[in-house]
Structure 1
Amino acid sequence: MTEQGVRWTADQVLALAPDAASRKAGSKLGAAGPWTGAGSSDEGAVWGVCKGSGSTPYRTVVDIADPDGPAYRCSCPSRKFPCKHALGLLLLWAAGDAVVPVGPVPDWAAQWREGREGRREQAASVPSGGATADPEAARRRAERRAERVTAGALELEQRLADLLRAGLATADGAGYGLWEETAARMVDAQAPGLAARVRELGAIPASGPGWPVRLLEECALLHLLDRGWLGRERLPDGLAATVRSRIGLPATPVGPPVRDQWLVLAQYDTVDPKLTTRRIWLYGTGSERTALILSYGAAGRSPEIALPVGAALDAEVSGYPGAHPLRVALGEQFAPAAPSAVRPPGGTTEQAAARYGDALRRDPWLDSVPVTLDRVVPVPDGDSWQLADADGDTALPLTPAARSRSGLWRLVALSGGAPVKVFGECGHQGFHPLTAWPEGRGEAVRLA
């Protein structure tokens, strides 16, 4: 990035923030006031010393040229990556040379970068453990896990049958404890995917009018997943891989890696008490392929991979197996991510709905598909909102989650009644906008 003489925008810096609180705190530190000795190098290092609440200022350094993505080091006690000081420093750097001039790297920042490089070279020189692993032992472990999952699936089938036999109305009086106990049994069976879906069932009776219909639909999908696992030997390879993934079994990328200029379409996190999941959507400008990177962080820690929305990345990705393959693993990166004026091609709202329907034929458990809409206008629809085609008479409703977030108002403000290009996820609850571009020229605006 610095080698090309291009700096990130403030939006691209804030896209790296692990949460909204970090974005707000980092923005406050994006001014020169609390910083001393800030600087940058042509090799991709940015550093500075920030005055904090204690007597000792915090030393912050960021390696923006790291092949695995931006790397951060700060002497503050925060457990978030990047911390607010790293975000503030990058915002300062994004403002230009007058604020963060190019100069020699101080010893404390240089030592950190050299240490990272040494550890990376050492790791690369160690032979992979896979070559010495016992394949027979691995096969036996896989068989034992499959047996546990099968036992869990059979138990879940019995519980679903008991629920239907007693009537769905009993689910409202049973409370959440019944579902939590069943989910715990699925965890014991080493089927985390089944456990997650069971927990979702527990919240449906309290979800408002019409909940029995929604509960029956989700029970049917859970039953279908159970039967898919129990009859997996008779399924086509792609569908069998999808079932294993939905059950929660680990998978490895298959096939040769694909090198492309990958446009970062969107990035957002979902958080539960034990895990933070980061979803990063990419679009290959050469392969015309949309891909998803999943990155995870333990409770209280941000996932390792972070990419600025609107940037392009020259890198390889390897796909995971499945009937509707979207997920990829990020491989070798040949250059740091850099701002890009490229936009993904889009379609109409009618085409988006058809795409989701086609994907459901291959993966009936799919909640949504990635879609780019061209020339749509956000318009109110009673108490809700929808995206209407500017050149047609069709529209897509926004999801309840999208209507309750500030991103909706950013989208409305960006549009101002004029057509915009919007990327998001289209599913059975509607369309969830994640990124938007104004008509003509303009940078990507993050909505989530």
Structure 2
Amino acid sequence: MARWTVEQVLSLAPDDASRKAGNKLASAGLWSGTGFDGSGAVWGLCKGSGSKPYQTVVDTTGPAYRCSCPSRKFPCKHALGLLLLRASGDGAIQQGEPAEWAAQWLEARRGRVEAKQAKQEAVASGESAPGPADSAAARKRAERRAERVTSGAQELEQRLTDLLRGGLATADRAGYTLWEETAARMVDAQAPGLASRVRELGAIPGSGPGWPVRLLEECGLLHLLDTAWLGREALPDQLAATVRTRVGLPMSAEGPPVRDHWLVLAQYDTPDGRLVTRRIWLYGRESG
């Protein structure tokens, strides 16, 4: 593998201080047990302030770095110094077999890279499927989220009941804070769809003539969504999927991919706190 240039090495430095420190360490007198191989690995032991030298190894195919020094910078000054020494081309680093400590790290790293590439290729070809452990973990996460959404829906039902008991005509006196607080509770329950509907309710009181009627209509629709979620097990599959989408749960892609020339008919963005939900309506020239 071609040797890196000094400019290439310095471009990897996280900051100017690391560049300067790396240049100072690019001296053969500070290094021992150095070497490189044809696969792009460079390794060596750098004299430090302690009794033991720092073990430094770099895989330039990544690039990836490992050093026994306590620095949290990547690459650290020792890795930069080693690469600069290699880039100098003065023969200070000779080709050979990696030291045992370097070989262990290189083997483990390249094994992980190969496994990741194999997984990506399998996914791209449609040959892979999630293992039992992955499926079980995903199912547990979905169940925990569903429980939180259910708790949020039950709390929202109670708040709607309290609102109706107090009378809709006085809803404008409470201000927007109460609605925002309720929406925040729905976000905590991982139901962003419910939170968005609550915020829409908060904008209705005092919005013009007839606002109590509009508020009642929207409260009725929100109550309908709440009760649909709480009784989703009894709903037809397609309707249950619609309810899950409305409360804010992500939809999983099902069925084979459809390739077509797609026309964008509409796009609608809904702000939801720190997130924005985007809906896009498409029309396929061939598939419709």
TM-score w.r.t. the length of structure 1 is: 0.35
Instruction: Name structure 2 gaps, 5 residues minimum.
Output: 1-116
- Using the alignment, how far apart are the partners of 1:279 and 1:155 within structure 2? 28
Residues 113-192 of structure 1 mapped to structure 2, 5 A cutoff:
125=120, 128=123, 131-132=130-131, 134-192=134-192
Verify: 1:224 aligned to 2:259, yes or no.
no
> 1:123: how far off?
10
Equivalent pairs: percent with the same residue? 77
Instruction: Name structure 1 gaps, 5 residues minimum.
Output: 1-121, 289-448
What SS does the aligned partner of 2:259 have? strand
- Using the alignment, how far apart are the partners of 1:287 and 1:124 within structure 2? 31
Superimposed CA distance per residue, residues 385-425 of structure 1 (whole angstroms, 9 cap, x where no aligned partner)? xxxxxxxxxxxxxxxxxxxxxxxxxxxxxxxxxxxxxxxxx
Contact 1:150 1:230 in 2 (8 A): yes
> 1:283: how far off?
1.8
> 1:187: how far off?
1.1
Contact 1:225 1:243 in 2 (8 A): yes
- Indicate the residue corresponding to 1:297 in structure 2: none
Superimposed CA distance per residue, residues 54-109 of structure 1 (whole angstroms, 9 cap, x where no aligned partner)? xxxxxxxxxxxxxxxxxxxxxxxxxxxxxxxxxxxxxxxxxxxxxxxxxxxxxxxx
> 1:285: how far off?
2.2
- Using the alignment, how far apart are the partners of 2:244 and 2:273 within structure 1? 24
Cα distance, 1:275–1:140 mapped onto 2, change above 3 Å:
closer
Q: Which of 1 and 2 has greater Rg?
A: 2
Superimposed CA distance per residue, residues 321-372 of structure 1 (whole angstroms, 9 cap, x where no aligned partner)? xxxxxxxxxxxxxxxxxxxxxxxxxxxxxxxxxxxxxxxxxxxxxxxxxxxx
What SS does the aligned partner of 1:259 have? coil
- Indicate the residue corresponding to 2:247 in structure 1: 247
> 1:231: how far off?
0.4
- Indicate the residue corresponding to 2:197 in structure 1: 197
> 1:286: how far off?
2.1
Contact 2:269 2:279 in 1 (8 A): yes
Structural RMSD (CA): 2.6
Residues 268-417 of structure 1 mapped to structure 2, 5 A cutoff:
274-288=274-288
Higher strand share goes to which structure?
1
Contact 1:163 1:170 in 2 (8 A): no
- Indicate the residue corresponding to 1:209 in structure 2: 209
> 1:221: how far off?
0.5
What SS does the aligned partner of 1:204 have? coil
Superimposed CA distance per residue, residues 107-139 of structure 1 (whole angstroms, 9 cap, x where no aligned partner)? xxxxxxxxxxxxxxx798455596355222222
- Using the alignment, how far apart are the partners of 1:204 and 1:226 within structure 2? 20
Contact 2:153 2:230 in 1 (8 A): yes
Superimposed CA distance per residue, residues 271-310 of structure 1 (whole angstroms, 9 cap, x where no aligned partner)? 566344544432222223xxxxxxxxxxxxxxxxxxxxxx
- Using the alignment, how far apart are the partners of 2:272 and 2:227 within structure 1? 28
Higher helix share goes to which structure?
2
Contact 2:195 2:272 in 1 (8 A): no
Contact 2:263 2:283 in 1 (8 A): yes
- Using the alignment, how far apart are the partners of 2:273 and 2:150 within structure 1? 27
TM-score w.r.t. the length of structure 2 is: 0.52
- Using the alignment, how far apart are the partners of 1:229 and 1:173 within structure 2? 30
2:205 alignment partner AA: P
